Structure 1
Amino acid sequence: MMRSMYAGVSGLKAHQTKMDVIGNNISNVNTVGYKGSRVTFKEMLSQTLKGASSPQNGRGGTNPQQVGLGVALGSIDTSMEQGNLQSTGKMTDVSIQGEGFFMVNDGKQNVYTRAGSLSFDEDGFLVNSSNGYRIQGWKAAEDGTISKTNAENIEDITLDETMDASATTNINYTGNLNAAAENTLTASPSKIQIEDGTSGATDNVSVSLNKTENFNQWKFSLSAENSSSNITNGTGYITLDEAGKILGINTAKDGSGTDLTIAGNEPTIDIGGTGDTVALDLPSVSDSLSSTPLFKGAEAAGETVEGDYTLNAKRTITTDVYDSQGTLHTIDLTAKKVGDNTWEIENNDVDVSDATMSTASWLSNSPHTINFDADGNVVGGGTVDLTFDPNGGAADGQAVALDFSNFTQFAGDMTADFDTSDGYGQGDLKSFTIDGSGAITGSYDNGYNKTLAKIGIASFSNPAGMSREGDTLFSVSNNSGDPQIGLAGTGGRGMIAPGTLEMSNVDLAQQFTEMITAQRGFQSNSKIISTSDEMLQTLVNLKR
């Protein structure tokens, strides 16, 4: 009878412990990152009254006779099931979707938590807002790279409040240079009066210019108003370079004809067929139409035909560059079409603001030629170095590699322009974001973003075996296994969900049900004790 009383006592103790666990679960139903617990019971050692016997001599065997001594606490298990995610919209709130724990350091050792309510302290460290423990991860280098993400390199996370200036070293260009782009040449005026100095006869001569299929070449034609006038060498071809300088004036499209600038081959006009001729002077090779008339009547007072040349086949591109101190400079360069499938950038077509040439030329080779194939792709001159000395205290001899290899040349819009470049000025941190891999990216007021750090995640082979440390913290135990540290989304570790918090995984319906069974179990065990007491009272009363 005493056995039953003590069995009831063990039952009371066991159910009291279960009620303690249930109460703790319910009290933490709204605790961020809380993991609920459950209690299991086990039977205590039984007292054997009679052992089992085996069959013999035609008689069957008998089972053992044992009396149980009550119930004992079997285990208190932690449920590591995922809790629901609550959206907060706060960038420093993070949760883990899947396996793993955030690592925080209390100043002596690392402990682990699923609570991701984070903030920055006075010293700029990313900490758990409930206890101030520093979040562990990996800081990025100045260029935003993180080379090693292992346990040996884990450290406190801080964000760089400023970004140092970086000099520009590479500029990439893209877009189209119009293959059909043409320059224009017009005669002004298109008609002049020619006078014979001997007879005094005059005639009006019209000048027409027509573009040929060759680049920067025009056919000129002279026609007299008087039908009796005769014109010799009245047609020919004028070829110019991109700057409007004469490359040739001759009688053949390919430049192999008679050079009309040689004395005796100029256009001549026999006014009215009298036999007296008037020669028209032409510019010479290398003369510029900006300073030399296209035609000039040798015996006509001041009668000239100017060649109005306009450079249309060009593209001017402006690009910003930074020197070593972060000072902004502007590169202006102009690419000019100099032939079919050929464009050039000359030294005098380049300028860098607030800087001087560090050598005799801005460009490492000037003029720099960009060649295209028949399909419109760059086949030569894809890159060139530009070197300049910034004014002020920045480093001289700054070299910038200009990359034109992504240019195209098709008949269409002139879209060639700056694409990307490195280098930037000094900047102050404005905001930051956290992505699913735990990468923290800072946004600076100089317009650039940079990876600043990555949050580390630890996983365990038996997370339920970790020891609770309070404040939703866990530590390594003998049965949890060692932490496996790495990036979110790798090695079975879950992804990080920014702007959310993981809610408690306590199921209230289940807890209330367990509370009912605990209460009934406690009541039942108390009945064992009271009934056993009554039976003992009966024995005591036998003496009466």
Structure 2
Amino acid sequence: MFRGIYKVISAMLVQQSKVDVASNNLANVNTTGFFKEILTQKALPAGELVREEKGSGGESAREVVGETNLGVVVAETAMDATPGVVKSTGNPLDCAIKGKGFFQLSDGQNLFYTRAGNFTLDSEGRIVTPSGLFLMGEGGPIEVGDAQEVTIREDGSVIADGEVVGVIALYDFERPSFLRRLGHSLFSATPDSGEAILQESVSLAVGALEGSNVNVVEEMARLIEASRAYEAASKSFESENETAQKMVETFGV
């Protein structure tokens, strides 16, 4: 009797999740190195329609008379690891990765990965992110000391007062879409993503940053579509609820 209500509720939950994903993507359209999320859905397993009757002796008899689908649910929210558009900034410590790969960062204990290359120097002469995470090179955190002039070359070499003091290391993953999102364009490895793989070569766009890969028009279209679908499902819920109430009043529970 309540199959219609189950289907409508599951549809509303899916559409609400689509609204949340699209809204979050749009909120990060200007976030450096942000990867958008994509929601996928799947159908619930089919349920059996059973007719249950009692025989003359009081025994119970069950008969399967068919199957019914109970609607859809969210399968997963996956990350789209397609690189974003690279834009020039003119800052000598800004750099964008050409092609695949991630910068490796550390807080002294844990390792993180990012596509956001907006780096700066801390008070101890180390190249860091705005939040203070160390940029890792092939031999550990890259330090420039009290150098007066610091630049980064396209091959990842870090030059301090004319001398090479380190080389930026880039890493990639077998399945980067399965990295764990930590916020602020940071990611960490997971069993599904695989371990970080050191890249043999480094190619950077210096004095530039990679923007998000969010397409505003596409996300607005998804947001409008999901909002309208949610509204339609909500009206269907009201109709199904009224029908169920009438059936209860007429035939009892």
Q: TM-score, normalised by structure 2?
A: 0.89
> Could you say which residue in structure 2 is the equivalent of 1:536?
244
> Could you say which residue in structure 2 is the equivalent of 1:436?
154
> Could you say which residue in structure 2 is the equivalent of 1:120?
121
> Could you say which residue in structure 2 is the equivalent of 1:526?
234
> Could you say which residue in structure 1 is the equivalent of 2:67?
66
Q: C-alpha displacement at 1:11, in angstroms?
A: 1.3
- Alignment counterpart, residue 156 of structure 1, candidates 121, 141, 147: 141
Q: C-alpha displacement at 1:160, in angstroms?
A: 4.2
One-letter amino acid of the counterpart of residue 49, structure 1: L
Q: Relative contact order (alpha carbons < 8 A, sep ≥ 6): 1 or 2 greater?
A: 2
Q: Is the 8 A contact 1:455 1:487 kept in 2?
A: no
Cα distance in structure 1, aligned partners of 2:13 and 2:107:
36
Q: Is the 8 A contact 1:437 1:487 kept in 2?
A: no
Cα distance in structure 1, aligned partners of 2:222 and 2:148:
51
CA deviations on 1:136-177 (whole Å, 9 max, x unpaired) are 003xxxxxxxxxxxxxxx31110144xxxxxxxxxxxxxxxx
Q: Is the 8 A contact 1:117 1:501 kept in 2?
A: yes
One-letter amino acid of the counterpart of residue 113, structure 2: Y
Q: Is the 8 A contact 1:105 1:134 kept in 2?
A: yes
Comparing both structures, which one devotes a greater share of its residues to helix? 2
CA deviations on 1:447-491 (whole Å, 9 max, x unpaired) are xx32111111011111101001111100000100110124543xx
> Could you say which residue in structure 2 is the equivalent of 1:41?
41
Cα distance in structure 2, aligned partners of 1:93 and 1:471:
16
Matched, 1:9 2:9: yes
Q: C-alpha displacement at 1:35, in angstroms?
A: 0.5
One-letter amino acid of the counterpart of residue 456, structure 1: A
CA deviations on 1:512-531 (whole Å, 9 max, x unpaired) are 11112211221222123111
- Alignment counterpart, residue 209 of structure 2, candidates 501, 510, 517: 501
CA deviations on 1:72-125 (whole Å, 9 max, x unpaired) are 111111011110011100001111011000000022111000111101101111
Q: Secondary structure at the match of 2:120?
A: strand
Comparing both structures, which one devotes a greater share of its residues to strand? 1
- Alignment counterpart, residue 450 of structure 1, candidates 152, 157, 163: 163
Q: Is the 8 A contact 1:488 1:496 kept in 2?
A: no
Q: Secondary structure at the match of 1:124?
A: coil
One-letter amino acid of the counterpart of residue 430, structure 1: Q
C-alpha RMSD of matched pairs (Å): 1.8
Cα distance in structure 2, aligned partners of 1:462 and 1:509:
27
Q: Is the 8 A contact 2:126 2:145 kept in 1?
A: no
How has the CA–CA distance of structure 1 residues 503 and 455 changed in structure 2, closer, same or farther, with 3 Å as cutoff?
same
One-letter amino acid of the counterpart of residue 79, structure 1: D
Q: Secondary structure at the match of 1:430?
A: coil
Cα distance in structure 2, aligned partners of 1:537 and 1:49:
21
One-letter amino acid of the counterpart of residue 38, structure 1: I
One-letter amino acid of the counterpart of residue 503, structure 1: G
One-letter amino acid of the counterpart of residue 2, structure 1: F
Cα distance in structure 1, aligned partners of 2:201 and 2:78:
26
Identity %: 30
Q: Is the 8 A contact 2:117 2:210 kept in 1?
A: yes
> Could you say which residue in structure 2 is the equivalent of 1:31?
31
Q: Is the 8 A contact 1:7 1:69 kept in 2?
A: yes
Larger Rg: 1
Q: Secondary structure at the match of 1:474?
A: strand
One-letter amino acid of the counterpart of residue 117, structure 1: N
CA deviations on 1:363-404 (whole Å, 9 max, x unpaired) are xxxxxxxxxxxxxxxxxxxxxxxxxxxxxxxxxxxxxxxxxx
Q: TM-score, normalised by structure 1?
A: 0.42
> Could you say which residue in structure 2 is the equivalent of 1:469?
182
Q: Is the 8 A contact 2:41 2:74 kept in 1?
A: yes
